[in-house]
Amino acid sequence: MERNKACWCGSGKKYKICHGPIENRIKLHKKKGEIVPDIEILKTPMQIERIKKSAVINTLVLDTVAEKIKAGMCTEEINQIVHQVTTENGAIPAPLGYEGFPKSVCTSINNEICHGIPDAAHILQEGDIINVDVSTNYEGYFSDASRMFAIGEISKEAQRLLKVTEACVNLGLAQAKPWGYLGDIADAINTHAEANGYSVVIDIGGHGIGLAFHEDPFVSYVSPKGTEMLLVPGMIFTIEPMINEGTSDFFIDEDNGWTAYTKDGGLSAQIEYMVLITNEGAEVLAR
């Protein structure tokens, strides 16, 4: 692209002061053999604006769940809340029908790692921990975040797991900055989890998001510092490690084909932020 022309991203700035320097810097890293993002996954200002609107709805949905969740409630009720608040705001729950997923939200209790399917038979009990994972499609722009909820009084062990999981995500977020690497985020998370005697699930990770529910890159939470994809302004992806009390090994429900459970029956927790890499650092678009 010609240096004095308006940048392709629609920012209104000249290419030479907008994406020109970014693309040059990416090329230098590529020459060194590093994994670099395709230019196509860098979001434009217009796309970011629309993705943010989706994220506002996603956050409203999670806030509504946070207000209403309690012991005695079944997970199907959470599904109904998510479905209703999402559609009332003109959006579509992204999980519904995604690769055949039957519900509008994932609800994963205790030893369920992720992709739990809401069900009228799953009644929340005092002492449970649950991950509610909400994903929104608003006019073709996607957002995704999940939170952990403690139902009533939970055990000391469960409290510690939730505290460490939250710290892991925040330590990962602190490493999310331009010209770093996805592996920096992973290493911060894995190191803190292991220091606390926990393990991080290896084969299920985060993902790019924005124009589709799941985009490049795959985001590992166990890779070493300085490895994996280069972080570049305009990338949007999720930080969503799954932290297990015991072994990181898991198995998938044979009947529903979705739900992942810890192999040893130990507790698992997950918190998901959706993050934009900016020129200065990172911005959490949904949490």
Q: What is the binding site for ligand MF3 (CB under 6 A)? A: 95, 98, 101, 106, 115, 133, 135, 144, 207, 238, 240
- Please state the length of the chain: 287
Considering the complex, state which of residue 226 and residue 257 has its C-beta at the smaller distance from ligand MF3.
257
Q: Specify the DSSP class assigned to residue 232.
A: -
Please identify which residue in the block is written with the tokens 């989706």: 54
| Sign, Cα dihedral of 183, 167, 75, 236 | negative
Of 54, 238, 259, 262, the one binding Co ion (CB under 5 A) is 238
165 binds, among Co ion, ligand MF3, none (CB under 5 to 8 A by kind): none
- Spell 52-76 as b/e; 16+ CB within 10 A means b: bbbbbbbbbbbebbeeebeeeebbb
Radius of gyration, alpha carbons of the chain: 19
Q: Is the CB of residue 107 less than 8 Å from the CB of residue 82?
A: no
147 binds, among ligand MF3, Co ion, none (CB under 5 to 8 A by kind): none
Q: How far is the CB of 144 from Co ion (least distance, A)?
A: 4
Considering the complex, state which of residue 144 and residue 187 has its C-beta at the smaller distance from Co ion.
144
- Binding of Co ion by 58 (CB under 5 A): no
- Binding of Co ion by 245 (CB under 5 A): no
Residue 170 backbone zone (phi > 0: left; psi -120 to 50: alpha; other: beta): alpha
95 binds, among Co ion, ligand MF3, none (CB under 5 to 8 A by kind): ligand MF3
Q: Report the SS3 class of residue 79.
A: helix
Considering the complex, state which of residue 144 and residue 184 has its C-beta at the smaller distance from ligand MF3.
144
106 binds, among ligand MF3, Co ion, none (CB under 5 to 8 A by kind): ligand MF3
Scan residues 135-154 and list those touching Co ion (CB under 5 A): 144
Amino acid letter, residue 252 = I
Q: Which residues pair with 237 in a beta bridge?
A: 208, 275
The C-alpha atoms of residue 272 and residue 281 are separated, in whole angstroms, by: 18
Q: Is the CB of residue 243 less than 8 Å from the CB of residue 113?
A: no
Considering the complex, state which of residue 15 and residue 221 has its C-beta at the smaller distance from Co ion.
221
Which region among 60-68, 156-164, 234-242, 250-258 touches Co ion (by CB under 5 A)?
234-242
Q: How far is the CB of 135 from Co ion (least distance, A)?
A: 6
Q: How far is the CB of 104 from ligand MF3 (least distance, A)?
A: 9
Q: How far is the CB of 282 from ligand MF3 (least distance, A)?
A: 18
Which pair of structure tokens corresponds to residue 241? 């490690």
The residue ranges that bind Co ion (CB under 5 A) are: 144, 238
